[in-house]
């Protein structure tokens, strides 16, 4: 039975129309885990898959603004969970209610990260958009940024103040199970995620000085 609920106004899952296989995996692995009702944002394949992905996430942000939402939870359909505790989700909900943020990554590919003084919340420079919470300010930043040939996660890394959950809650299923609709060189195999997980734990240690002196908060 679902035991986890994120304090958001709506939850979405981006999925290509022909990827019913991915939607089936999502329903088996994610929907039983969380109480939030997830709406599939089903899109047609774009001749430029990077643009298609970008505009799909942008469409969700635009809808959130139009409906007056304060926070939305967004998944991609190849998302996979790590073990998640209700306590961690509770603190995440406190953070999104109390603190100003643009995007809170619930899973990510490592760049670098450093802990804040808020439990389970880090700052960082990361990529990947398979699981995140977007605030109204973050929605506005995405809607106002036209596609210029870079992936949506690169936009956020370059332009927007990023927060990350620590430890992260979600990864991506291996390509052998769900494939990749964007990457020519697939990186989301189990071995790759294992290495990413190790970097994920080491980066806050390497950047502990940022936490102590509140640099980049």
Residues of the chain with pLDDT under 50: 1, 182-186
136-143 and 49-66 helices cross at what angle (nearest 10)?
A: 130
pLDDT score of 181 = 56
Q: How far is CA 45 from CA 126, 205, 208, in A?
A: 26, 41, 43
Q: Two tokens at 209?
A: 């000085």
Summarised one tens digit per residue, pLDDT across range 174-211 is 876 655 554 444 466 899 999 999 999 999 999 999 99
Summarised one tens digit per residue, pLDDT across range 62-86 is 999 999 999 999 999 999 999 999 9
Domain parsing of the chain, residue ranges = 10-208
Q: What is the pTM of this model?
A: 0.94
Q: Based on DSSP, count helices (H) and strands (E) in the chain, helices before strands.
A: 8, 10
Q: Just give the CATH number of 10-208.
A: 3.90.550
> Beta strand pairing status for 131-135 and 103-105?
antiparallel
Task: Phi first, then psi: give them for residue 133, nearest 5 degrees.
Answer: -115, 130
pLDDT score of 177 = 60
């Amino acid at each position: 039975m679902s035991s986890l609920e994120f304090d958001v106004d709506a939850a979405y899952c981006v999925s290509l129309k022909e990827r019913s296989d991915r939607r089936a995996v999502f329903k088996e692995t994610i929907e039983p885990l969380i109480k939030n009702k997830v709406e599939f944002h089903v899109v047609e394949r774009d001749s430029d898959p990077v643009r298609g992905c970008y505009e799909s996430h942008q469409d969700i942000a635009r809808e959130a603004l139009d409906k007056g939402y304060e926070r939305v939870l967004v998944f991609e359909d190849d998302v996979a969970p790590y073990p998640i505790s209700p306590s961690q989700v509770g603190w995440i909900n406190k953070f999104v209610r109390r603190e100003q943020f643009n995007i809170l990554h619930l899973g990510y590919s490592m760049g670098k990260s450093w802990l804040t003084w808020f439990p389970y919340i880090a700052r960082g420079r990361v990529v990947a958009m398979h699981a995140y919470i977007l605030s109204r300010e973050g929605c506005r930043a995405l809607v106002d940024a036209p596609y210029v040939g870079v992936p949506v996660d690169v936009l956020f890394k370059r332009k927007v103040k990023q927060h990350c959950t620590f430890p992260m809650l979600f990864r991506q299923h291996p390509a052998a199970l769900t494939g990749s609709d964007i990457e020519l060189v697939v990186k989301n195999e189990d071995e790759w995620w294992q290495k990413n997980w190790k970097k994920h734990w080491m980066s806050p240690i390497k950047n502990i000085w940022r936490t102590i002196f509140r640099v980049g908060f």
